[in-house]
Amino acid sequence: MLQDHNEIIRNRYAKADALRENGYNPYCNRWETPTHTSDKIRESQEQLIASEEIVFVAGRVMVIRHMGKAAFLKIKDNGGRIQIYARKDDLGEETWKLFKGSVDIGDIVGIKGKVFITMTGELSIHATSLSLLTKSTRPLPEKWHGLTDIETRYRQRYVDLIVNDDVRDVFVKRSRMISCIRQYLTGRGYLEVETPILHPILGGAAARPFKTHHNAFDMPLYLRIAPELYLKRLTVGGLEKVFEINRSFRNEGVSYRHNPEFTMLELYTAYWDYKDTMELTEQIIQHVAEHVYHQTEFKFGDMEFSVAKPFRRLPYLDAIKEFVPCLKDVELSWTEDPASVYEKLKPTGLTFTDTNCAWKMLTEVFEEFVEKHLIEPVFIIDFPKATSPLAKCSAENPDVAERFEMYVCGMELANAYSELNDPRDQYERFSEQVKAREAGDEEAVEMDEDYVRALEYGMPPTSGLGIGMDRLAMLLNNSPCIRDVILFPLMKPEEK
Residues 292-301 pLDDT 10s: 999 999 999 9
Classify 214 as helix, strand or coil: strand
- pLDDT confidence band for 146 (50 / 70 / 90): low
CATH number at residue 265: 3.30.930.10
| Residue 169 and residue 45 share a domain | no
Predicted structure pTM score: 0.92
| Residue 197 and residue 112 share a domain | no
In degrees rounded to 5, what are phi and psi of residue 342?
-60, -45
- pLDDT confidence band for 2 (50 / 70 / 90): low
Query: For the residues 146-171, what does the mean pLDDT come to?
Result: 89
| Residue 384 and residue 289 share a domain | yes
Domain, as residue range, for 248? 163-311+376-485
- Is residue 362 domain-resident? no
- pLDDT confidence band for 144 (50 / 70 / 90): very low
At residue 389, the pLDDT reads 83
At residue 182, the pLDDT reads 98
Q: What is the mean pLDDT of the chain?
A: 94
Phi-psi region of 38 (alpha: psi -120 to 50; beta: other; left: phi over 0): alpha
pLDDT digits (tens, 9 = 90+) for 333-367: 999 999 999 999 999 999 999 999 999 999 999 99
Q: What is the distance between the alpha carbons of residues 173 and 294, in angstroms, rounded to a whole number? A: 11
- pLDDT confidence band for 145 (50 / 70 / 90): low
Res. 282: pLDDT tops 70: yes
Question: Which of residues 105, 140, 175 is at a domain's end?
Answer: 140
At residue 437, the pLDDT reads 83
CATH number at residue 22: 2.40.50.140
Domain count, the chain: 2
- Beta strands (DSSP E) in 409-477 are 411-418, 462-468
- Is residue 316 domain-resident? no
Residue 349 exposed, middle or buried by CB count within 10 Å (0-12, 13-18, 19+): exposed
Across-strand partners of 81?
A: 76
Query: For the residues 96-119, what does the mean pLDDT come to?
Result: 95
Query: For the residues 277-284, what does the mean pLDDT come to?
Result: 98
Percent of the residues in the chain that have a pLDDT greater than 90, as a whole number: 85
Question: Which of residues 140, 171, 196 is at a domain's end?
Answer: 140
At residue 329, the pLDDT reads 93
Res. 143: pLDDT tops 80: no
| Residue 31 and residue 62 share a domain | yes
| Residue 68 and residue 17 share a domain | yes
| Residue 21 and residue 107 share a domain | yes
Phi-psi region of 111 (alpha: psi -120 to 50; beta: other; left: phi over 0): beta
Q: What is the distance between the alpha carbons of residues 394 and 399, in angstroms, rounded to a whole number? A: 8
pLDDT digits (tens, 9 = 90+) for 370-415: 999 999 999 999 999 888 888 999 988 988 999 999 999 999 999 9
Q: Tell me the longest C-alpha to C-alpha distance in the chain.
A: 91
Q: What is the distance between the alpha carbons of residues 364 and 1, in angstroms, rounded to a whole number? A: 50
- Is residue 338 domain-resident? no
Lowest mean pLDDT among 73-87, 150-164, 267-281, 453-467: 150-164
At residue 287, the pLDDT reads 98
Query: For the residues 308-329, what does the mean pLDDT come to?
Result: 96
| Residue 395 and residue 251 share a domain | yes
Question: Which of residues 140, 155, 187 is at a domain's end?
Answer: 140
| Residue 275 and residue 196 share a domain | yes
| Residue 304 and residue 269 share a domain | yes
| Residue 274 and residue 204 share a domain | yes
- Is residue 356 domain-resident? no
| Residue 206 and residue 305 share a domain | yes
- Is residue 335 domain-resident? no
Q: What residue spans of 295-416 are helical by DSSP H?
A: 316-323, 338-345, 358-365
- Beta strands (DSSP E) in 47-169 are 54-67, 70-77, 80-87, 108-117, 123-134
At residue 242, the pLDDT reads 98
Of 252, 253, 244, nearest in space to 226 by CA: 244
- Is residue 14 domain-resident? yes
- Is residue 83 domain-resident? yes
Res. 65: pLDDT tops 90: yes
Of 192, 197, 208, 199, nearest in space to 265 by CA: 192
Residues 6+ apart with CB under 8 A from 155: 491, 494
| Residue 193 and residue 125 share a domain | no
CB 397 within 8 A of CB 423: no
- Beta strands (DSSP E) in 135-172 are none
- Is residue 337 domain-resident? no
CA 53 to chain centre: 41
Beta strands 191-192 and 241-249 are parallel
- pLDDT confidence band for 3 (50 / 70 / 90): low
